Amino acid sequence: MRLPNLFKKKSSREIAKDRLKILLISDRAGCSPEMLDMIKQDIAKVISKYMKIDTNNMEIQISKSTIRGRGKNPTLYADIPILDLHN
């Protein structure tokens, strides 16, 4: 089992890329980057009660998708790496 490098510092390129992703996602969903970050923190807090997750590599996206022919609605997608389950 490979352990994540918790002390690895992100390069300025990676930081800029992450910021751009957040900006584009928030623009599409009509939600501010601050709000998107608060949502991400809340999701991480709740899921952390039940399992150990990698919050550094956690990604959330809000996009618009068609659901059952009702038109385009905002949809939340989450990619959350699970490191261990709490028993």
Read off the pLDDT of residues 47-80 as tens digits, 9 standing for 90 and up: 998 999 999 888 887 777 766 766 677 778 889 9
The answer to whether residues 80 and 53 touch, using CB atoms and an 8 Å cutoff, is: yes
Q: How far is CA 10 from CA 7, 44, 67, 86, 87, in A?
A: 9, 20, 37, 28, 32
How many other CB atoms are found less than 10 A from the CB of residue 33? 15
Read off the pLDDT of residues 1-44 as tens digits, 9 standing for 90 and up: 455 555 567 788 887 777 777 666 666 666 777 887 888 899 99
